[in-house]
Homo-oligomer: A and B are copies of this chain.
Amino acid sequence: MAGGDRGCHGGIPGDPALTVMNELLLAITTAPHGPKLSLAVSMFVVFGSAKLLAEVFERLGQPGIVGEILAGILIGPSLLGWVAPNEILSFLAELGVVFLLFRVGLEINPADLMRVGRAALAVGTLGVAVPMLLGWATLRLWGASQIESLFLGAALTATSVGITAQLLASRGLLNRTAGKIILAAAVVDDILALLVLGVISSLAGGTLNMVELVLSTVFALGFVVLVLIWGSRAARRVLPKLRDNVRIGEGQFAIAMILLFGLAALSERAGVAPIIGAFLAGLAMGPALPRRVHDLTQGVTELFVPFFLAGIGLRFDWQVFVHPSVLLLSVIVLVVAVIAKIVGCGLGAINYGFPVALRVGLGMIPRGEFCMVVAQIGLGLKAISEETYDVVVFMAVAATLLTPPLVNLAFRTTGSAQAPAVES
């Protein structure tokens, strides 16, 4: 299935609480049933349907990205049933979002990102706290138990930045102020998600080790700051030397790939999602890599991003439409999930004025695998019901689907989207 954008918080080595999720994530993303398709057929069906619907949506004046997600719903188990989520599609989806964030990192100047650091810290923190609070309060008002309400709150916290990144990249908006704040805030959001996940996993594991939790957060934070500060300096020194000494064909591309996967693997070890590692790798290497490497990387990105997007749709399930009360709760939770991010993240960026704050808030709406991991842990503990699990999955897919048109609208209202470099 999709994303993997948050899937592989490998955890600090030897942290049993955090490795629980890897197991769980695998259980979610791997469905043993469903037809076994050959490589050619599965690539044709997923890539082809995503691109076809993207084309249809573009012609209708809608974001192509929505078409690609809907393609997943269309071909997935809930409608045509041509493709079922499986381990391989899950891998390709993660590959897509890793390359997506790497590409985005390549296009961004690290110094620019540091400049919005304070706002990003506020956006990231409020963007986790407000959804947690509102999510909890909503379920309490609905009459759910304390523990179930806490799980729902936790499930609403982490943003899945891939969608917004792809949207902004495809429209040349990455270097707008709001774009940079969103990307920097996504890094903060990811580290806080590590904390939320740590607490949630410790509920599954039995005991809450506060020292370990704080240490792992500090470790993750330290890793990110280190790469941000030293990464591009190191890349500028080392890459040219390596380049001049490599004999194999397309050697620079090979070096870039090794550094990309190496940093993504290190990120996992530090407790940060691999896509954040990929983003940092892109940031660090961007200025030092030649055009050729950008082009070759673009090929991989273009091929696999549709698997990430369609993979989101593959998760969709009509289950919530069966019972009116579940449907009602789903709609309420969806509205809360959307508003909580707009308010929380928007407040964090309010110093940049209302238009930027609104764009940041809208850009942070998408949710991904993180919600499902949290809900799955809750389900495993019998802390939440099957219905609440379905509600969370519906919320994640629907919130993600709502984002592209809303973000497009917000960028259209002030200033032309065709002139990305005007602002800031």
Contact = CB atoms under 8 A, between A and B. Distances in A.
Contacts of A264: 39-40, 43-44
A247 interface: yes
11 contacts: A10-B38, A26-B36, A39-B98, A47-B257, A48-B258, A55-B246, A55-B247, A88-B91, A295-B296, A296-B296, A299-B300
A330 interface: no
Contact of A295 (B54, B247, B258, B299): B299
Interface of A: 4, 8, 10, 22, 26, 36, 38-41, 43-44, 47-48, 51, 54-55, 58-59, 64, 87-88, 91, 94-95, 98, 170, 246-251, 253-254, 257-258, 261-262, 264-265, 267-268, 274, 277, 292, 295-300, 302-303
A93 to B, nearest CB: 10
A292 B292 CA distance: 11
A277 B87 contact: no
Contacts of A4: 39
Nearest to A277: B40
B64 A248 contact: yes
Contacts of A55: 246-248, 251
Query: Within the oligomer, what is the number of copies of this chain?
Result: 2
A38 B8 contact: yes
A238 to B, nearest CB: 15
Contact of A38 (B39, B265, B295, B300): B265
Given A87-B87, A98-B40, A265-B40, A253 B299 contact: yes
Given A58-B247, A58-B248, A44 B300 contact: no
A381 to B, nearest CB: 23
Nearest to A263: B40
